[in-house]
Structure 1
Amino acid sequence: MQITRFGHATILVETSDTRVLVDPGVFSVVDAFALTDLDAIIVTHQHPDHIDPERAPALLDRNPDALLLADPETAASIGFGDWAENADGLETQVNELTVRGVGARHAVILPTIPRIGNVGVLISAPGEPTLFHPGDTYEYVPDGVDVLALPLSAPWAKVSETVEFLQQVSPNVVFPVHDCTISDLAYGVYWGQVEGHGGVEDARRLGQTDTTTV
């Protein structure tokens, strides 16, 4: 399995015959919206840093055969594309890949802000590791995660919660996502806690356009 970051929460997951893009949002680099030959585009929730309403329609036009998968609230309200619903425990087959929904709600930002839907994704295939992208929450901890895309910074998170979530998931490999809210100068403050206290030996500090193989 090859994983490429395209800025903030956006990742491209590739296996031998399948290409899946997750969360192409407003903080994503421009190259994410030029991708072609995608088999699926997955959105965990409706916030614009996870689905860019301005650039995503052109991405869909470039990938007319891609399966479009989103949490039920986003699928019903996104306004462009023919989106299928992803939900907790629901499995969707994308060629050799199995995509399973995890969770239902976004993390609490403030008590006065209503919680929206958020469905993370487990992506697996025979002979491949299982990858988990949780979207915007630490609430749901599935079993059997080999590779974790770890949200590193958000208005809803603090470092102790980040490290506790990583410890609970206990993957073999962890890499950061959701990190455009961190300055370059302060990045090590956050990632240093992950490396020092997360309990995962293979912690890969991937930059905004880096690729890794797992």
Structure 2
Amino acid sequence: MDITHLGHAAVLVETGDARILIDPGNMEAQWHELVDLDAVLVTHQHADHLDPARFPGLIKANPGAALFVEPSIIGLAGTEVTGVGTVPEMPTARPLPPGDKITIGALTITGVGGQHAIIHRDIPQIGNVGYLISGEGEPTFFHPGDSYEYVPEGVDVLAFPSYGPWAAMKEGIDFAREVGATRGFPIHDALLSEPGRNMIVARISAMTPTQLTDLRGAGPTAF
């Protein structure tokens, strides 16, 4: 399995017969020209995970890609959402709720979770579905979206959300310990300074079983 961190929460997962993009948001541009995708997955409605301006172009450039999203996104398509803008129309999208499984090539993708982490008590929680990706002879990869709450079993590689309005270091350490992956890389990091990113990578690597490697600019990395 090759994994490319395309900035913030956007991740490209590639195997011999599958090419899967997760969370093409508006805080990065590296995914804008991607083609030949087999699937696009979206964890939740926030614009840093689903870019309302560029997402339609991505789908047009990848007409053969299956599109799976957190279920509430389908009902919101075409409407204005605070902090998001207009949620793109996506007539071919299919919901992937927690516990459901799909197959892309030889990979199995399982929905995990259900709700976005609490940002503030005055801000209603929204849906959030993480994705557990596994296959015979491949490591099991987990992209949790925006939540530290849900912990699947058997994770080998963790996309670790490093910082956000909802995240705290103490919770992130406990989350990484519970997941127990031996390897990982930081995501959700667009709001971090360079020293801040380095601090989080060092702290998680020192205090949990997960050794984080910064994949920015590294291109496809084999796991």
Aligned twin of 2:194: 184
Q: Does 1:100 align with 2:99?
A: no
Q: Secondary structure at the match of 1:167?
A: helix
Cα offsets for 1:61-118 (capped at 9, x unmatched): 0000110000111122233222100111100111211110001000000000000000
Aligned twin of 1:66: 65
Any unmatched runs of 5+ in structure 1? none
- In structure 2, distance between residues paired with 1:45 and 1:154: 14
Aligned twin of 1:87: 97
Q: Does 1:153 align with 2:152?
A: no
The ranges of structure 1 where at least 4 consecutive aligned residues each deviate by more than 4 angstroms after the TM superposition are none
Aligned twin of 1:8: 8
- In structure 1, distance between residues paired with 2:154 and 2:15: 19
- In structure 2, distance between residues paired with 1:50 and 1:132: 16
- Number of residue pairs the alignment of both structures matches: 212
- In structure 2, distance between residues paired with 1:98 and 1:74: 22
Aligned twin of 1:43: 42
Q: Secondary structure at the match of 1:180?
A: coil
Q: Identify the range of structure 1 (204-213 vs 35-44) with the bigger mean alpha-carbon deviation.
A: 204-213
Percent identity, aligned pairs only, is 43
* CA root-mean-square deviation: 1.2
- In structure 1, distance between residues paired with 2:173 and 2:119: 18
- In structure 1, distance between residues paired with 2:38 and 2:13: 10
Aligned twin of 1:207: 216
Aligned twin of 1:27: 27
Contact 2:159/2:185 (8 A) holds in 1: yes
Return the offset for 1:209.
Answer: 5.7
Any unmatched runs of 5+ in structure 2? 79-88
TM-score, length of structure 2 as denominator length:
0.92
Q: Secondary structure at the match of 1:51?
A: coil
Return the offset for 1:211.
Answer: 2.8
